[in-house]
Structures are given as structure tokens and as C-alpha cells.
């Protein structure tokens, strides 16, 4: 990465520091990859959390727990009124597509979001990192 930024594929990241920072900001793609690649160092949640708070992070095995998204929060729905409206993106690390990212917005609080990440390829596609955050909306003042 330009400018000597941390988080490239060459230097390992401090996972403990990543988890601390996840309380206050979204993780960068390189940080997410680092956690997913080192998932054995963490607890894989056996069931979905019940209404997790902002800053919470969970790891799931999609092969073991199919309904990891059933977390008790009310997420914005599609027009059918039943299915959660999730946006889908592919995230790059460096110049390589590495991650799927699915994100949803809260129904009652649109600033509360859930992002789910997993690797695009390889043997780690079943491990999912789910991050919950309440984003602060910047208020713009005009003079």
C-alpha cells in the first residue's frame, strides 16, 4: 500500500488491537482477512447472539450454524416485507478481491448496521465474521 500504511498482505497485524478498534470503527479488509485467517485463535459462536450491541464481533461457521443472522434485531426488509434487505459487495485487499461483505441497516435505527464478511475463495469460505456498529451521522452546518 502507498505511504507505508499498515494492513497490507506483507506484515501481520496485531489481532488484539484490531478487536479493540472494532469497538469504535469498521475494520479494514486486510484486518478482516487477518482475523478470518486466524479464526482458530478465537471462539466460534455456537448460536447467534441475542440483540448484540454496537462494536460486537462474532465468528460463525456457516456449515455448522446456518441461521447466524437471526440475532433478534429488526433489520430493514425488502419490498416483500419478509426478507432482510442486504447489500452485497466484494472487498479488495491491495488490488485483489478477497472478501464478500453483506450489510444490513436497522429498521428502527437506520444508523445501526450489521456487516457480515467471509473469504471469496479457499478453505475459509465457511468462516464468517459479523460486526455490529452504530454509526454516528455527521451533521453538516451551512453558513
1 pLDDT band, cuts 50/70/90, is: very low
Lookup result for grid cell 506484515: 11
Q: Is 122 inside any structural domain?
A: yes
Predicted structure pTM score: 0.84
Compute the distance between CA of residue 101 and CA of residue 89 in angstroms, rounded to an integer: 5
Q: Is 139 inside any structural domain?
A: no
Pairing of strands 112-119, 87-93: unpaired
Q: Is 142 inside any structural domain?
A: no
Q: Is 95 inside any structural domain?
A: yes
Q: Are 1 and 65 in contact (CB under 8 A)?
A: no
Q: Is 98 inside any structural domain?
A: yes
pLDDT in tens, 119-130: 998 889 999 999
pLDDT in tens, 12-71: 667 788 888 999 999 999 999 999 999 999 999 999 999 999 999 999 999 999 999 999
141 pLDDT band, cuts 50/70/90, is: low
Q: Residue 33's domain spans which residues?
A: 2-134
Q: How many domains does the chain have?
A: 1
Q: Is 108 inside any structural domain?
A: yes
Compute the distance between CA of residue 64 and CA of residue 47 in angstroms, rounded to an integer: 9
Q: Is 88 inside any structural domain?
A: yes
Q: Is 143 inside any structural domain?
A: no
Percent of the chain with pLDDT over 70: 86
Amino acid at each position: 500500500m502507498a505511504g507505508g500504511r499498515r494492513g497490507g498482505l506483507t506484515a501481520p497485524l496485531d489481532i488484539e488491537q484490531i478487536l479493540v478498534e472494532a469497538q469504535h470503527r469498521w475494520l479494514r479488509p486486510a484486518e478482516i482477512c487477518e482475523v478470518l485467517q486466524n479464526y482458530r485463535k478465537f471462539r466460534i459462536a455456537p448460536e447467534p447472539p441475542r440483540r448484540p450491541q454496537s462494536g460486537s464481533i462474532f465468528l460463525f461457521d456457516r456449515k455448522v450454524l446456518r441461521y447466524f443472522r437471526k440475532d433478534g434485531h429488526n433489520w430493514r426488509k425488502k419490498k416483500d416485507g419478509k426478507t432482510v434487505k442486504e447489500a452485497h459487495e466484494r472487498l479488495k485487499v491491495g488490488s485483489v478481491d478477497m472478501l464478500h461483505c453483506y450489510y444490513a441497516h436497522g429498521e428502527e435505527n437506520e444508523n445501526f448496521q450489521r456487516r457480515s464478511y467471509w473469504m471469496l475463495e479457499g478453505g475459509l469460505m465457511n468462516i464468517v465474521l459479523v460486526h455490529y456498529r452504530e454509526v454516528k451521522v455527521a451533521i453538516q452546518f451551512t453558513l
